[in-house]
Amino acid sequence: MAILAVGSVAFDTVTTPSGHAENVLGGSGTYFSLAASYFTEVRLVAVVGEDFTPEHEQVLTKRKVDTRGLEHEKGKTFRWGGQYLDSLNDAKTDFTELNVFESFQPRIPAEYKDSEFLFLGNIHPLLQSAVRLELSEVKLTGGDTMNFWIQGAPQELRETLKLVNILMINDGEAKMLAKESSLPRAARKVLTMGPKALVIKHGEYGATIFFRDTAYGAGGHAFRAPALPLEEVKDPTGAGDSFAGGFMGYIASQGNMNREVIKRALFYGGVMGSFAVETFGTERLQNLTRDEIDARFQLFRELTHLE
Amino acid sequence: MAILAVGSVAFDTVTTPSGHAENVLGGSGTYFSLAASYFTEVRLVAVVGEDFTPEHEQVLTKRKVDTRGLEHEKGKTFRWGGQYLDSLNDAKTDFTELNVFESFQPRIPAEYKDSEFLFLGNIHPLLQSAVRLELSEVKLTGGDTMNFWIQGAPQELRETLKLVNILMINDGEAKMLAKESSLPRAARKVLTMGPKALVIKHGEYGATIFFRDTAYGAGGHAFRAPALPLEEVKDPTGAGDSFAGGFMGYIASQGNMNREVIKRALFYGGVMGSFAVETFGTERLQNLTRDEIDARFQLFRELTHLE
């Protein structure tokens, strides 16, 4: 079933211990769409400027991402610059040029209105809510957010959280959102804010999903999937959105949403995140095969499963 | 088969977000021995002072730990004070009084000489080497160390590492020892220094074991076991040594040392670590049952295993 993704398309300038890349195609919408495209039909809503060329758009359309929701505006595309020299888990931002993203008002094409899965990338909570409320067929909404909104738009974010079924954030964001220093306590508190499940991403240590009691069937209250101990992380940018793409893409590709599907989806999220960081930008996510993806899924299983 | 453990016995004064405890029985030898005692016979070599009472010794002997290697010296037992107010993963040391531990020279009782498993707790690398060289029947040596020795006695530590089969350290120690910022690269480098396997402990995220190519049979080069997402960590002190006790205790309890045994041992390590942090001091480790341990092992499995 189709996923509608709303998020950013950006040009990133990134420095890591492995090197430097300038103005490579990125953004939450881009990483999510490419990662999810290996599992299901993806429809993208985002905004780009005049510097976004047909060649850039082909990166998406070659993976059969539906770009009818991509708005082309006068001006430049969102640009971000950052470095990961001290830690691969935390980016230090060098510059942010919002450009056309500053006045982004997501418009949902009529052809997208029947979408049953929705991913709300990390944009203003008010915009996230507006998109969700415009779609009446949605069965599952996944959402992301960040410190900037947790601190800067707490009330608006609270409203959005009531509309999000599975929230995907990292350790620091979960603790900040819940005002709790213990992750499990933070998780329990976030699950009272709306979401039925919370995915906490631990970077190189994988991710844990916490469930509300009977959400998505019976089962334990938590499940953990690994990240691969990769020798070389070239560029961590986009790992979280690629994780979300693998996670939601896999769920959307299955007929139902039970616990076992969601657990496997957590593994596929880690798998897509692990591919994303192998190159600067989206290069690795552009030319994968489903066989490569499933082989890595198998590696993740062997890394964690007893006989 | 019996494990000989050499390490510290201490009285700890600890402050955590959950409270405060004064002069509770602790030390690497104590935590290790109690945790391992649920799996196999344990023989302890350590030193205590005159403030170590028969009641303290009974904590060990009630768990059938062999304390004939416990040396009673004039003076006070090793004392450590610390707090975990900023982070449950890093202790801030308030004070260290080495006392009788300062001149500790491990003496191996004749009755211990046939030990086939050896745990070298975090003491001076020269003492670790001396103990190992005195034992001719040892089949498996597990070892711990810390930043203090990595920086302060690098040459001596290099010699010790040649005698250790499975090294158990945490993320920061692995990176410091290998002078590498990436964990998998650090692991590969440490595995050229002597150990056939390296366990890297990730605190609340669990632990990963990295193997040299064909060490302990065929299999992947890494395996990861979780820690339990615990609502309340009362006192993290001793978690690493309890992990080591569960890990080595389980291996020693099995007839052989193949990959599958070692993987399950990594789970049991996490299980014993998770019990240790539930109370201040060793209280929780004193009164467990094997049923409780196996029930938690099952929880760890459900937390990580797909159908």
Residue B210 pLDDT class (50, 70, 90 cuts): very high
Looking at the complex, report in whole angstroms how far the Cα of residue B302 sits from the nearest Cα belonging to chain A.
Answer: 7
pLDDT value of position A214: 83
Mutate to test the interface with A, among B84, B199, B304, B305 (most CBs of A within 10 A): B304
List chain B residues with CB under 8 Å of A210: 229
Q: Which two tokens stand for residue B9?
A: 């016995």
List chain B residues with CB under 8 Å of A296: none
List chain B residues with CB under 8 Å of A223: 303-304
Name the burial class of residue A115, with classes exposed (0-12), middle (13-18) and buried (19+) by CB atoms within 10 angstroms of its CB: buried
Rounded to an integer, what is the distance from CA B188 to the centroid of its chain?
22
B208: nearest CB among A223, A229, A302: A229
pLDDT value of position A87: 78
Summarize the confidence of residues A36-50 as an average pLDDT: 98
* Interface touch B224/A181, C-beta < 8 Å: no
Mutate to test the interface with B, among A88, A205, A262, A278 (most CBs of B within 10 A): A205
End-to-end CA distance of chain A: 34
List chain A residues with CB under 8 Å of B299: 220
Looking at the complex, report in whole angstroms how far the Cα of residue B260 sits from the nearest Cα belonging to chain A.
Answer: 7
Given a contact cutoff of 8 angstroms between Cβ atoms, the answer to whether A141 and A118 are in contact is: yes
A302: nearest CB among B181, B220, B304: B220
- Which residues sit opposite B25 in a β-bridge? B11
Please tell me what DSSP assigns to residue A216: T
| Region for B216 from its dihedrals, namely left if φ exceeds 0, alpha if ψ lies in -120 to 50, beta otherwise | left
* Interface touch B223/A267, C-beta < 8 Å: no
For B85, the closest chain A residue by CA position comes to A181
B224: nearest CB among A17, A88, A304: A304
| Region for A89 from its dihedrals, namely left if φ exceeds 0, alpha if ψ lies in -120 to 50, beta otherwise | alpha
pLDDT value of position A258: 93
| Region for A205 from its dihedrals, namely left if φ exceeds 0, alpha if ψ lies in -120 to 50, beta otherwise | alpha
How far is residue B6's CA from residue B32's CA, in Å, rounded to a whole number?
A: 9
pLDDT value of position A215: 87
Looking at the complex, report in whole angstroms how far the Cα of residue A303 sits from the nearest Cα belonging to chain B.
Answer: 5
| The pLDDT of residue A62 is above 90 | yes
Q: Is 0.90 surpassed by the pTM of this model?
A: yes
Name the burial class of residue B219, with classes exposed (0-12), middle (13-18) and buried (19+) by CB atoms within 10 angstroms of its CB: middle
* Interface touch A301/B301, C-beta < 8 Å: no
How far is residue A252's CA from residue B240's CA, in Å, rounded to a whole number?
A: 41
Q: How many CB pairs under 8 A join A and B?
A: 84
pLDDT tens per residue, range A197-256: 999 999 999 999 999 988 888 777 999 999 987 777 899 999 999 999 999 999 999 978
